Every structure is written in structure tokens, then in C-alpha cells.
Structure 1
């Protein structure tokens, strides 16, 4: 079993269901994305550049769907939050599956992919 699959299997509900659903939307929307296991969490890269990662922050009760270049997306997608005073990363916080607006999320994935493809590097701040 791949480490990323193990990560998902070891999550408690409702986090496991939320993460598996978000994973399926990402992989179905962007077939070019590469799923990797880095820093003990799942990352979704385009080329060698990380675009999104999924995490459960300690002491929080939600899945953090974090966009590496989120600062460049937050004007078009106000659902992105700056949690933990991160300089560049912005995220969607999902407590339930119903919190995810799939249509908006798919648009966000396409925009994030376009922005990342135009960038020389993923981490610019």
C-alpha cells in the first residue's frame, strides 16, 4: 500500500470521508496532477511544483485543503482563508462534506493549475 493511501485509511471520520472525496475531485478534475506523500501529508503537484495539500491541523476540527499559491487566488475565490497567518498559502476549511461547493472547487482547481503553470516556482514568498 502506498503511504498516501495509508494516510487516508488512518484518518478518523468525518475527516477520512472528506479527504477521500476531495482527493477524487482533484484527481478527476486535473488528470495531469501527481499525488505525492511529503511531510507526512498528501500533496498534489503539477510537474514538480506543489499545488495543493490536505492536512488536519492539530487542535482544529476541519480538513485544511491548502493551496500553495492561494494568495494569488483569494481575490477570485473568497472562500479561501488565511488561517495561521500564512504568508502565501490559503485554504478551504471543511468540517463536513456539505461544506464543499464542488462546482466552485472545480473552478478553483482549474485556476490554481493555470496560475501554477505560469509560475517559475511554487513557493515565491
Structure 2
């Protein structure tokens, strides 16, 4: 089994179900995305740059769907939050599957891919 698969299957519920669902939405929405395991986390690269990673931060009770260039998307998509005062990363925080607005998330994925495709760097701040 691949390390990224191990990561998902070693998560406790409800995090495992949420992450597996988000993973399937990402992979089905953006066929060009590449799933990788970096920094002990599942990363989704688009245009050869990191776009999203999934995590459960210590001391929290939600799945953090983190967009690397989220700062460029937060005005258009207010569901993106700045947790822990991160400079560039913004995230969607999911406590349950019902917290995810599928259509809005798909639109967010498409826009994130477009923004990343136009960007010269993955991390710019």
C-alpha cells in the first residue's frame, strides 16, 4: 500500500471518511492533479506545484483542507479561513461531511487550479 493510502486508513473516524470523500472530489474534479505524500501529509499538486494538502491539526476537531495559495482565493470564497495566522495558506475546515458544500468546493478547486497555473511560484510570500 502507498504511504498516502496508509495515512488515510490510519485516521480515526469521522476524519477518515471526510478525507477520503475530499480526496475523491479532488481527484474526480481535477484529472490533471497529482497525489503525493510529502511532509507526512497527502498533497495534491497541480501544474507541478503544491495546491492542496489535508491534515488534522493537533488540538482541533476538524479536517483542515489547506489551499497553498489560499490568500489569493479568500475574497472570492469566504469559506476559506486563516487558521493559526498563516501567511499564505487558507483552509476549509470540516467537522462533518455535511459541512462541505460540494458545488462551491468544486468551483474553489477549479479556481485554485487556474490561479496556480498562472503563478510563477508555488509559495510567493
What is the distance in 2 between the residues matched to 1:33 and 1:121? 17
Classify the secondary structure of the residue corresponding to 1:24. Answer: helix
Structure 1 moving runs of 4+ over 4 Å = none
What is the distance in 1 between the residues matched to 2:7 and 2:96? 19
Corresponding position of 2:69: 69
What is the distance in 1 between the residues matched to 2:46 and 2:111? 13
Gaps of 5+ in 2: none
Classify the secondary structure of the residue corresponding to 1:122. Answer: coil
TM (norm. structure 1) is 0.99
Classify the secondary structure of the residue corresponding to 1:81. Answer: coil
Gaps of 5+ in 1: none
- Measured after TM superposition, the shift of residue 48 of structure 1 is 2.2
What is the distance in 1 between the residues matched to 2:70 and 2:44? 14
What is the distance in 2 between the residues matched to 1:47 and 1:72? 17
What is the distance in 2 between the residues matched to 1:79 and 1:25? 17
1:28 and 2:37 aligned: no
What is the distance in 2 between the residues matched to 1:74 and 1:108? 10
What is the distance in 1 between the residues matched to 2:84 and 2:102? 25
Corresponding position of 1:46: 46
TM (norm. structure 2) is 0.99
